[in-house]
């Protein structure tokens, strides 16, 4: 449960969302989308939606967000993927509520298993192709030796190919989506403002891997 001390209740007409992250203090962003009118040469205009750079809502969690009642798109970093932001649509009501999140995790600790899998899959594919050619040739010529060699080569190649593919998949990069709990809560009035002493940020501890995607959107909270 986050401990957040604030100097005053939210302004009239605004709701309060207390945001906390289980792994430790991280920044929180607001996703921004802009609808732009497109001239398509007809009387009925069309619109396209564009992602805008995110807005920093909180420098670090836990923090308090005071907003007008409604839905906001808030984003959190993804452990292991520096440029990525994991978004969630969260409802802000007039009553204070707590949004506690567990961050998404990207891991790419591939090594020898993946290399061996690639080699096995390549050899298996080559053996399967060779066996596919030898087996019908032996059967058509009533050459039992050639047919047996083709069958053995085809079967062994299929096994190598299957095991190689499984090894590649087992040692591939993985992504675990973040999760959240959103429930009613209350803020503690009084104090000079601020939050409880933060722990070390998980962004400083978790290794950072190369990744090719920058944002993901999840369900509503």
pLDDT band at 144 (very low <50, low <70, confident <90, very high): confident
pLDDT score for 194:
44
Question: Residue ranges of the domains in the chain?
Answer: 4-34+49-108+174-220, 112-170
Average pLDDT over residues 98-119: 81
Backbone angle region of 146, left / alpha / beta, with phi > 0 → left and psi within -120 to 50 → alpha: alpha
Report the distance separating Cα 92 and Cα 16, nearest Å. 7
pLDDT digits 0-9 by tens, 25-45:
999 999 888 888 877 777 777
pLDDT score for 28:
93
214 has pLDDT over 60: no
Report the distance separating Cα 17 and Cα 64, nearest Å. 6
pLDDT score for 76:
92
pLDDT score for 1:
54
107 has pLDDT over 70: yes
209 has pLDDT over 60: yes
pLDDT band at 193 (very low <50, low <70, confident <90, very high): very low
Please tell me which residue, 74 or 189, carries the higher pLDDT value: 74
220 has pLDDT over 50: no
213 has pLDDT over 70: no
List the beta bridge partners of residue 215.
85
Average pLDDT over residues 11-21: 88
Average pLDDT of every residue of the chain: 80
106 has pLDDT over 70: yes
Determine how many CB atoms are found less than 10 A away from the CB of residue 63: 20
What global pTM score does this model have?
A: 0.64
> What tokens were used for 11?
């302004």
195 has pLDDT over 50: no
Q: What is the CA radius of gyration of the chain?
A: 28
Report the distance separating Cα 142 and Cα 202, nearest Å. 68
Report the distance separating Cα 139 and Cα 52, nearest Å. 65
Please tell me which residue, 160 or 198, carries the higher pLDDT value: 160
pLDDT score for 2:
54
218 has pLDDT over 60: no
């Amino acid at each position: 449960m986050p401990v957040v001390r604030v100097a005053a209740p939210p302004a009239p007409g605004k709701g309060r969302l207390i945001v906390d992250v289980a792994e430790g203090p991280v920044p929180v962003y607001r996703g921004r989308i802009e609808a732009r009118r497109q001239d398509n040469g007809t009387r009925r205009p069309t619109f396209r939606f564009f992602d805008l750079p995110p807005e920093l809502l909180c420098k670090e969690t836990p923090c308090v967000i005071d907003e007008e009642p409604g839905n906001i798109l808030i984003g959190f970093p993804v452990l292991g993927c520096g440029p990525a932001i994991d978004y969630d649509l969260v409802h802000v009501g007039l009553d204070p509520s707590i949004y506690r999140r567990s961050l998404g995790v990207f891991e790419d600790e591939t090594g020898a298993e993946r290399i061996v899998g690639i080699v096995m899959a390549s050899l298996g594919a080559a053996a399967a192709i060779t066996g596919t050619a030898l087996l019908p040739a032996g059967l058509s010529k009533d050459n039992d030796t050639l047919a047996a060699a083709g069958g053995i080569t085809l079967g062994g190649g299929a096994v190598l190919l299957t095991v190689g593919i499984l090894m590649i998949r087992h040692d591939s990069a993985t992504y675990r989506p973040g999760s959240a709990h959103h429930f009613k809560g209350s803020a503690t009035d009084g104090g000079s403002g601020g939050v409880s002493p933060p722990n070390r940020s998980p962004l400083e501890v978790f290794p950072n891997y190369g990744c090719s995607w920058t944002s993901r959107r999840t369900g509503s909270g």
